Structure 1
Amino acid sequence: MDTVTVNDIRLEYEIRGTGEPVLFISPVISDGFAPLLAEPALTERYRLVRYHKRGWGGSTHTPGPVSVADHVADAVALLDRLGIDRAHVAGHSSGAAVAAQMAQDHPGRVATVALLELSLLSVPAGAAFFEQAAPAFEAYAEGDAERALGLFLSLVSGLDPDRCRDLLDERVPGSFEQAVKDADTFFGVELPALAEWRFGPDEAAAIRQPVLSVLGSGTRPLWVEVAAFLRSAVPEVEECVVDGVGHLLHIERSRPVAEPLARFLARHPIAP
């Protein structure tokens, strides 16, 4: 990956394809968008930019707290360095929180927003999710980052730990090992920031760009509830449900995610 310095930190990034720019923002699996960025429906029409947020991969690891707003500032600075005035923005899970905040804070820079199972922990199902994740938190506190990540990813994906790891090894080789290396960022920085993030009806109503909400048909109640919230609160939202997948939807089945995303982007081109 290439590197660029913004806000006194180094960010790793990669660009594929040509056309209107699309910025992809990942959560715990820092290379999770790699399968999606290999899909012809996107690469043949768009300039696809993915990057490692601060604290992930080879990007600079800074001590917490690092807020969702801090990640937004980094993303905007990255666009500046790449000479991109306005982009479509897509995010997954906690990366979708950055995308949603970016649409609010910098509406002139964001043409559309694609939210792949936005993680919003303030909905009622958030408390139950945290209870279910307790064994992962306990494993991390005991110093077993590998077991902690395995438990957490199994919970969010709905797959047993071995099947989940096999999926990641197949679709994004090395991603699980990298997530273990980044465990301090995830458990110590990213999750606390997500818990502090506020995105209620007023904030959702402030997003005036076209929004695509993407949901796996087999996902956890948390993301079903978040999708219902987006449906009720965001002024201009479209929804796509991908059959047979859970929270790792674009890793499990990249093509059924790429194709409706490409159609959504085509319906809402960036104004010249």
Structure 2
Amino acid sequence: MPTTRIDDADIEVDVSGDGEPILLIHGSNLADGLRPLATAMHRHVRGLTLVRYHRRGMGASTGRDGKPWRGEPVSIEQHAADVLGLLDALGLPSAHILGYSYGGTVAIEAALAAPDRVRSLILVEPTLREVPSSNRYLGQMAPVMDRYRAGDVAGAVTATFTGLDAEHWRELLATIGPDAFEQALRDGEFFYRAERPSLEDWTFSAQRAAAVRAPVLSILGTRSGAFFDDGRELIHQRFPQCADADISDVNHLLYLQAPKTIALEVARFLRA
């Protein structure tokens, strides 16, 4: 992927298609995770320009001075600023924004920071800590972080995917490419070290959310569990204009389990 300079980082970005721009923000530990969704959207959603990028520190997107990010944590606000900077660099006054998981949280912050630049907001199970089931969900993640802190990045990444889909996760990763697990090791290590701490401090402000008038779509897997169910409820509280799309018989790996179905739901939403 070619790179674009955004503030103090070189960001990998791929732009394809012809039509209204939609920017895709990937999840926590796999920079190419939304590649199958982008492919499905090209096949099933007409009239879109897809902007798929790698957040700073992930893939080959670099931090300061063109070097891999090794220092302080990267905040959700910094990632949102990168989103807006990327729109500037591409000459886009506004775009539809789709974010998955941690990327969904970044998408929300970008909308809160610059509501006039978001044509619509498509949230695929964003990570929202201000929900009743947050402590229980994060408690389930404790063994993952224990392995990471012990220096076992491969064990932490494996435990993450196994906890979501013990039977099929390796086959799902293979749909991204033969080196997907190696990418997950690199990107997962960056998430645990530099991104995850920012979730402790970020809040989904009702006051700031009131300024967002763009249409909102919440996409949720029916087997994703209470944490993401609660997240949808919070999204509705903050964005009363939110519509819903439920994807049957999938969990938090829905972006790999059902990319075509998600693409069709996005198409339906954008046509409405």
In the TM superposition, 1:7-18 aligns within 5 A as 7-18=7-18
1:221 is matched with which residue?
226
Spell out the pairing of 1:120-159 with structure 2 (5 A cutoff).
Answer: 120-155=128-163, 157=164, 159=165
User: Which runs of no fewer than 5 residues in structure 1 stay unpaired?
Assistant: 268-272
Q: Helix, strand or coil: the match of 2:57?
A: coil
> How large is the RMSD of aligned CA atoms in angstroms?
1.5
Q: Is the 8 A contact 2:173 2:180 kept in 1?
A: yes
Q: How does 1:68-217 map to 2 (within 5 A)?
A: 68-155=76-163, 157=164, 159-160=165-166, 163-217=168-222
Name 2:38's counterpart in structure 1. Answer: 37
**What residue identity is the alignment partner of 1:68?**
I
Moved more, 198-207 or 47-56: 198-207
Give 1:75 shift: 1.1
In 2: Cα distance, 1:79 partner to 1:201 partner: 25
**One-letter amino acid matched to 1:30:** A
**Distance in 1 of aligned mates of 2:226 and 2:208:** 22
Q: CA deviation at 1:153?
A: 2.5
TM-score, scaled to structure 1? 0.92
Q: Which moved more, 1:175-184 or 1:222-231?
A: 175-184
Percent identity (aligned): 35
Which residue does 2:55 correspond to in 1?
A: 53
Contact 2:23-2:95 within 8 A present in 1 as well: yes
> Aligned residues, how many?
263
Structure 2: stretches of 5+ with no match in the other structure: 63-67
Q: Deviation at 1:110?
A: 0.9
What CA distance in whole angstroms lies between the structure 2 residues aligned with 1:72 and 1:29? 18
Amino acid at match of 2:83: A
Once residues 151 and 98 of structure 1 are traced to their aligned partners in structure 2, the CA distance between those partners, rounded to angstroms, is 24
**Which of 239, 244, 251 is matched with 1:239 structurally?**
244
| Contact 2:30–2:187 (Cα < 8 Å) also in 1 | no
Assess, with a 3 A threshold, how the Cα gap between structure 1 residues 258 and 168 changes in structure 2: closer, same or farther.
Answer: same
SS in 2 for 1:108: helix
Match of 1:143, SS? coil
Q: Structure 1 residues 182 and 88 mapped into 2: Cα distance closer, same or farther (>3 Å)?
A: same
Deviation per residue, 1:117-171 (Å, 9 max, x gap): 011012121111111111111111111101101112233x3x11x5212211134
Q: Distance in 1 between matches of 2:11 and 2:216?
A: 26
Partner AA of 1:102 in structure 2: A
